[in-house]
Amino acid sequence: MQDEVLNKIMKPKSIAVIGASTKPKTIGSEIMQRLRDYKFSGNIYPVNPKGGIIEGFQAYTNIEEVPGDVDLAVIVVNAKFVLDTIDQCHRKGIKGLVIITAGFKETGKEGAEVEKQLLAKVKEYGMRCVGPNCLGVLNTHPDVTMDATFAESLPIRGDIGFVSQSGALGGGILNILKDLNLGFAQFVSIGNQADINAETMLEYWENDDDVKQILLYMESIQNPANFRKLASRITKKKPILALKAGRSAAGASAASSHTGSLAGADKAAAALLKQSGVIREFSLKNLFANAKAFSNCPIPKGNRVAIITNSGGPGIMATDAICESGMQMAKITDETKEKLRSFLPSAASVKNPIDMIASAPIEHYQQTLETVIKDENVDMIVVIYLPFLGLKDIDVAEAIMKIKAQNPEKPIVGVFMTTSDFFTKISNMEVNMPFYMYAEEAAEALTRLDEQRQWMEKPLGKVPCYDVDKNKVCDIIKKSISEGRDQLTTLESIDVLQAYGIRACKYGLATNIDEVVNLGNSIGYPVVMKMTSKTTSHKTDVGGVVVNIRSEEQLRNEYNALLKRLEEKGLLEGLEGVIIQEMVKGNREMVCGIATDPQYGPMMMFGLGGVFVEALKDVTFRIAPLTDTDAQEMVKSVKAYKLLQGARGTTPAQISQIEETLLRLSQLVNDFKFIDELDINPLLISEKTGEGIAVDGRIKVRMNEAQEALKDCLTCAGACK
């Protein structure tokens, strides 16, 4: 049903422009001109209270006077008339709306209220609506040929489905892509996205063969969980490239935990896009440059790249760019080298990069490319051209495009370090491969193709479900909130971790000197002593942590000294006791954590911990819930991974156990969604066993949510979802 109604918008057989105008340079006039000039395949009905003829079409004074059925109404009337216009469209039986009109939630509270009423009517009438406050929609398919926008340029045919949250930017994009010889299949400016948003269009285009790749310009993601679900599925079929704006630190979390202070809205967005298989771009230039590759190249079979050049310097620069991107320089077979030597001059190099030297004629470009394409060790090819000895750039481009047409199975990109006139000519030609000015651009484009290959080959991750003690966690948190505390004590935090099967140090709570000594003797020296307080969370700031206590006598002395320090600072009253904990020996300290982003929800963090966590920021983030592949990628993606592998003779860490720790934390925050912050810092890597052991924990909850969720202890029932 959704596709049927969306077809009324994207593939209409008839369009009414309500607010059509004869006045030049008005939106109502511009949209009529675009529909006419782009030769919309269906019927066009202008609606204007004055009637008459508009752009050669009979105008009607009211939408209900239009003869015949209308699939799509493009509404350009004043904002105060929009609600009544929707009612009229409903009486006419129209299901598709594109509301160009501005003046809704972008203007403030009153506008937001009107937009709320607008959406209620759309839902009540079974309509779908693009906008309000948008540029419009277009579809270049020959069966439709619809440009219902007021952009400056008419679109060219292509394979891109583009969603833009910004109307003005969308108009600029239409102009830019024409110059880049990139075309659209369909374009939607979602504006205020009262109804139709990026997720709607992702789902609509999922199985549309006319849309081969999807580009997104987004300022916000309305429903991150749904976006992840859809995008994760769609990116297995076709690439999605996204330019997500709003990367500044202004949106960073003000949380007090290590995880919270390092997290921020952009890190959450980056994690979500990565987990969804979406290729994130950071500029329009890169977005379009890489879209060019997807429009003109197949997905490669691997990441082995061959470079063909007529100049050594650019060949070396291209090699550097390929290697730095993580791809491999292809190892040219002996058979290929022998064939190359048969026609290239003796001064040429047949190793990769293949340097044909500056005197290379067009025939050498052709023969070299034809030979290298057949090499089974080559997955992708970069062809570099510099102007020498009167060799014309367009002639070379046409020659290699002819070979590409005969050999479509491998990606080929051109690096033409020539004048801008060449790129102007290319933009007006039909091309079957992308051309770039610089080697770095070409390397990045091939990297994106390989990124898509890896994602499509990667198995779908699973969210595991572990046997845990949820009831125990319920009881611990209930006790804390009943005492008015949103932050659990260290002891409570460690108990929560252990209830979820997370390896923590052996420990015990002592409230007097005798209990302190008994615990120390039973655990075995050396031990660590940590204060646990209902009023002091950062223990190290007040001298509340003492490590490497090696005897009973030292333990007695340190305990008495701690009490004295707290008394002097006026902190003794909040003291709950001290935790006596086994001392795990290890020099590698990692950190695991959870921080809650107000829009994206719980974020998982992993990285280098201890005192380095905020100084070096060698951390990575993912949105919960984690899959097993998410956990694997988190551990492997930090620079400190080399330390975990066992550098300089150290015991290799139990990587799978660390991954399981992250997955158990993910299950914890999924079961108890009101956990706001959680830090395990450090997660110490044992030199003896390689285990990741939680030696400290800190958990904070959102009080009101926790109280509501635990009211009937419903959180404690049921299994993983």
* Statement: residue 121 has pLDDT above 80: yes
Cα distances (angstroms) measured from residue 570 to each of 56, 87, 491, 513, 564: 86, 69, 21, 20, 10
State the DSSP H helix or E strand holding residue 168, giving kind and residue range, or none if neither: helix 167-179
Per-residue pLDDT band at 254 (split at 50, 70, 90): very low
- Give residue 251's pLDDT: 38
* Statement: residue 152 has pLDDT above 90: no
Claim: this prediction has a pTM higher than 0.75: yes
Phi–psi pair at 533, nearest 5 degrees: -135, 150
Phi–psi pair at 577, nearest 5 degrees: 150, -165
Give the CATH class of 298-457.
Answer: alpha beta
pLDDT per position as a tens digit, 651-670: 999 999 999 999 999 999 99
* Statement: residue 698 has pLDDT above 70: yes
What is the percentage of the chain residues whose pLDDT exceeds 90?
79
- Give residue 719's pLDDT: 54
Lowest mean pLDDT among 33-47, 238-252, 433-447: 238-252
Collapsing DSSP to helix, strand or coil, 119 comes out as: helix
Collapsing DSSP to helix, strand or coil, 196 comes out as: coil
Cα distances (angstroms) measured from residue 133 to each of 114, 192, 308: 13, 6, 49
pLDDT per position as a tens digit, 525-583: 999 998 988 777 667 778 899 999 999 999 999 999 999 999 888 888 888 899 998 88
- Give residue 259's pLDDT: 41
Q: In whole angstroms, what is the distance from residue 591 CA to residue 618 CA?
A: 10
Same fold yes or no, 2-211 and 298-457: yes
pLDDT per position as a tens digit, 623-637: 999 999 999 999 999
- Give residue 712's pLDDT: 67
Pick the CATH number of 470-582 from 3.30.1490.20, 1.10.1040.10, 3.40.630.30, 3.40.50.300: 3.30.1490.20
Closest CA to 347 of 364, 333, 330: 364
Q: What is the mean pLDDT of residues 273-277?
A: 96
* 198-205 and 224-234 helices, crossing angle to 10°: 20
Q: What is the mean pLDDT of residues 170-184?
A: 77
Q: What is the mean pLDDT of the chain?
A: 92
* Statement: residue 261 has pLDDT above 80: no
pLDDT per position as a tens digit, 94-110: 999 999 999 999 999 99
Q: What is the mean pLDDT of residues 475-481?
A: 95
The span from the first CA to the last CA of the chain, in angstroms, equals: 28
Q: Which CATH superfamily is domain 588-716 in?
A: ATP-grasp fold, B domain (3.30.470.20)
Closest CA to 189 of 172, 210, 167: 167
pLDDT per position as a tens digit, 337-382: 999 999 999 999 999 999 999 999 999 999 999 999 999 999 999 9
Give the CATH class of 2-211.
Answer: alpha beta
What residue spans define the domains of the chain? Answer: 2-211, 298-457, 470-582, 588-716
- Give residue 720's pLDDT: 66
